[in-house]
């Protein structure tokens, strides 16, 4: 059964696509960003310092969390998650859980930043979902507004650019397409079109395997 890796930057649509692929193929799905967010939330709750690697590592201990916890989706948590994800120790602490999920019998879909490059380099299908920073900022703004939050386009765009920079230039497992990944640019696609294209690409890749 297939392992499907979906990587890409923030607000590219990778989560929506990964969920749709999982449903279509009847596979379990893991949003690996939630693990980094859970560490960030732990750290934030006990007032730990994201600039301190040792404290960030302690926040990885006994990592139990509820994926439905709305706190995990807060912007502040997302910011801390991006900062602590540069630490090799934090990445190592979360590695096993992700690899076990990827190796389960029957296959799986995982989405994140380094699934196709580090977590599941042998994945049957690798998609790298991307979109221009401007389009992603628009999407993030709409999502924030739909949750009743106030934000300005300029701030959201600046935040997306800063996160891209940090996620792509870190030394360990930087955000980049695996050599054998299919790049799907969703800048000009609506959600339904992006999903349809991802399904088509995945079916095609699986048929040629
Ligand atoms: O996908 P997300 O926005 O929920 O991820 C939050 C942060 O976690 C992101 O800025 C980078 C980090 N992350 C990572 O380094 N590797 C992953 N596989 C998933 C997320």
pLDDT at position 65: 87
Q: Is 112 in the pocket of ligand 1 (CB under 6 A)?
A: yes
Q: Is 15 in the pocket of ligand 1 (CB under 6 A)?
A: no
**Residues 203 and 124 sit within 8 Å (Cβ to Cβ):** no
Residue minimizing CA distance to atom 10 of ligand 1: 82
- Domain topology for 3-208: Rossmann fold (3.40.50)
3-state secondary structure of 205: helix
Structure tokens at 83: 């900062």
Going by DSSP bridges, is the β-strand pair 29-31/108-112 parallel, antiparallel, or unpaired?
Answer: parallel
pLDDT (average), residues 159-175 = 88
- Cα distance between residue 141 and residue 195, in whole Å: 21
Name the average pLDDT for the chain. Answer: 94
List the chain domain ranges: 3-208
Q: Is 91 in the pocket of ligand 1 (CB under 6 A)?
A: no
- Rounded to two decimals, the pTM is 0.94
Structure tokens at 92: 């190592």
Q: What angle do CA 180, 185, 83 make, to 5 degrees?
A: 80
Which residue would you say has higher pLDDT here, 74 or 26? 26
Give tens-digit pLDDT for 1-21: 899 999 999 899 999 999 999
Q: Is 159 in the pocket of ligand 1 (CB under 6 A)?
A: no
Examine the pLDDT at 115 and tell me if it is beyond 80: yes
């Amino acid at each position: 059964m297939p392992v499907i890796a979906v990587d890409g930057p923030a607000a590219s649509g990778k989560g929506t696509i990964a969920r749709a692929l999982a449903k279509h193929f009847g596979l379990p799905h893991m949003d690996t960003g939630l693990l980094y967010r859970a560490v960030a939330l732990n750290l934030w709750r006990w007032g730990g310092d994201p600039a301190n690697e040792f404290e960030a590592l302690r926040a990885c201990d006994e990592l139990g969390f509820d994926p439905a916890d709305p706190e995990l989706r807060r912007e502040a948590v997302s910011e801390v998650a991006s900062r602590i994800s540069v630490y090799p120790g934090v990445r190592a602490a979360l590695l096993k859980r992700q690899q076990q999920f990827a190796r389960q019998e029957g296959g799986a879909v995982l989405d994140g930043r380094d699934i196709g490059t580090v977590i599941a380099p042998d994945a049957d299908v690798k998609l790298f979902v991307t979109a221009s920073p401007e389009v992603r900022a628009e999407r993030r703004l709409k999502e924030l507004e739909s949750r009743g939050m106030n934000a300005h386009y300029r701030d959201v765009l600046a935040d997306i650019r800063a996160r891209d920079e940090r996620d792509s230039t870190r030394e360990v497992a930087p955000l980049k397409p695996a050599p054998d990944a299919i790049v799907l640019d969703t800048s000009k696609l609506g959600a339904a079109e992006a999903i349809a294209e991802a399904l088509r690409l995945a079916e095609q890749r699986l048929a040629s395997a």
